Structure 1
Amino acid sequence: MLEAVIEPYPQATIDGYTGLTVHYAQERGACAIVRGLREVSDFEWEFKMARMNQQIAPDIDTLFMMANTQYAHISSTLVMEVVQMGQGKVGAEKLREMVPAIVVEFIKKKFDVL
């Protein structure tokens, strides 16, 4: 699903790893780690993680990007709860306000709803 979502962005790649993100960033030769923040409550944990990463690898910066307020409350967990507990009563149009259209199509197929 993620591959389909990022298809229009050829500069984006998907890669898995185990261990610390900062070690993965070092292995890739990265100079920065970009972290997304939805709510202010995310910041405390992310700040602690960034400080730890800085101590482990001082040459790698952490950059924080705030979510658009229109989407800040949305998480994959909440979307899945809406799909599963909404029993098909939440239409595709409403879901398209929360997730990319391709994700709505995956949800339709997987859960046979909408």
Structure 2
Amino acid sequence: MENQKSNRKPFTELYLTKNQIEGMMYVLDSYLNADKYHKFGQYADRMKQKILNHGRTFINSDEEMVSLLMYETDMIILLKLFSTYISAVQEIPKDYFSEIVEAQKARAIESLNH
């Protein structure tokens, strides 16, 4: 039994304001409305059901909040959904990928010099 507990993946507790959870649910619904049978639609459905089934509402300093326990796999799915959504609806003003490549090159050069 103890071995089962140690095999559980760690989770993170997220505290989201009403506005933040409204935005999150809107993005998830956007995926579902676009194509609920595509893998991102299925991911969105999975995340929405987790939020509806396990989200806990509370008031903090007169602000409505939702608490969610998110496992690493859930966080990865949300990150992929939101980054894909943003890149689809928002024009990206610069090439951030190249910036990451350049930073990686700089780190490699620095590590060779030390």
Into which bin does the TM-score normalised by the smaller protein fall?
0.3 to 0.5
Structure (1/2) with the larger strand percentage: 2
Structure (1/2) with the larger helix percentage: 2
The two structures have a TM-score, normalised by structure 1, of 0.34
